[in-house]
Structure 1
Amino acid sequence: MTVSADGLPETAAEPGAPAPPSGLVVVGHFDQPPGYRVERPRGADSWLFTWTTGGRGLLRHGSTQARAAAGDLVVLAPGVPHGYGVEPTASHWEFWWAHCRARPTWRTWLRPYDVGAGLYVVTPTPDAVHGRVEAAFRRMLADARWTGADAPPAPVAGEEPVAVAHGTAARELALCSLEEVVLLTAGTARKAPAQPGVDARVRRAQALIDADPAAPHSVRSLAEHVALSPSRFAHLFTGQLGQSPMRALREARLRHAARLLESTGLSVDRVAAASGFASAPHFNRAFRERYGRPPGAYRSDGPMVDN
């Protein structure tokens, strides 16, 4: 939850606590008591990722502030003055953290959660993913210690709570685990609220489309999933959502294609196929009509607005 920066508690650490240099991958796990605080008036050269597992934290980034509770991923972009510590009314703050250079594709996933000045608050995440996220951080801590000889070490309970990935392979392995954290949290948080007055069967059909837009959906297959006749389903869907099922499918496929263009290096032809379009020319026409630019220009220039 985003709150005002007024009333931020005084620091309990020396002002200007150093951050790891840009380019390093550093990961750790802390359980800190009341009074713990770090202040960096010049910010950091690297990104800071925090995942709370217990208690509550309070993080400030520029003039924006956020509280973090169990299951919240809070990310601070580089170059902005920041501070963080135990929330004043909390008994402790237990959290995983990682300093690193963020992979460019992560920004696409985090963008919907930007609450200002490069502070990303990814919440709420469903309980079902919490265990896997924590396991990814534990694996990141172990992988950061890999020397390149033999197999990477297995996570061990009670091991040293901070690790620095020195070798190239160790850094990449550690970043792969952090990428899993970003995908799991950003991909499951903040689901759109149910539209009031929309039939549950229509909502289920829309969820099927959104979950896998590239699948060979048809009016008949969607109707079968929600136990309606094709004609009754099409009439109900169009009347309640203002567009036909196939129009909704086309929009979902174009949104999916836009995300692939922003976050992958796939060719336009492969993006078209991965988004469910039968041919690249058809995809190019539809994409230009929806976004005002062909796919190649969209990838080069970036989106003009969130989509």
Structure 2
Amino acid sequence: MEFIYTNPIGLTDLEVLEVGTQACTPTMKFGPGVRDMYILHYIHSGHGTYSAKGSSVSVVPGGLFLVVPDTVHSYWADPDEPWHYTWFGFVGTMAARLCKQAGFTGSPPVRNPDPSVPVDPLFSEVLSLREEPAKELLLTGLLYRILGTLTVPDDIPPLQPDVGLHVRRAVSFINARYADPIALADIAAHVGLDPKYVCRLFQQRLSMSPYRYLTDVRMRKACRLLRSQLPGIAEIARSVGYADPLLFSRMFKRTIGLSPSAYREKAKLENTPSGT
């Protein structure tokens, strides 16, 4: 497996969190489980199956499948012809809309191979960006190119300008202040709106509350710090806005499914080369 973690740089519309490519073993399987980000997979070769929302679909070379946040799903390689895929993990206020425009509207969201849509060369560029100083921007730009290439005409009505503007301002505020003890009133004051109206805008645009978005941001930052193996749990808790390490641990386990220490140990084992 080749894997690239990125460092958050404050993008709000679309931000790549991780990228990787893997030639799977015949026994490879994920799930059933949930993820806290969108994950777009492209199949270079081999076969496998993707299951979500009660349906299963075989995905073949040239096909793509999309993991949607907080949706129970699983996927596994064909034991005779295990697949080799590349994936992008990403978030952002425009992620859902861009994925819908790219044709991921089915249940589960899968796109079959289309020779007229040449995305294989784009996915093959991923590893060449590993050592680039600005890889975060370059990878996000590459994801835009992929989604743009996949885009199909749709009838999604344009959002009202104030909805996009206010949500973007609120998201930027949360991304910048997640380490502080901010509340809904602080977010609403920043954008100059009533707190209840801010909640409605978040539900309309992101299908979640401002508190849920704040919690997701904090947990993603915490996961990155835990993977770094450097700060202690108490330091990480304070770094992501929790003065009480016990409260942080409870929220982390409720959101991620593992305690912070168990998550750190799991990440350490995954990063240890086999045979050592």
- TM-score bracket, shorter-length normalisation: 0.3 to 0.5
User: TM-score, normalising length from structure 2?
Assistant: 0.46
TM-score relative to the length of structure 1: 0.42
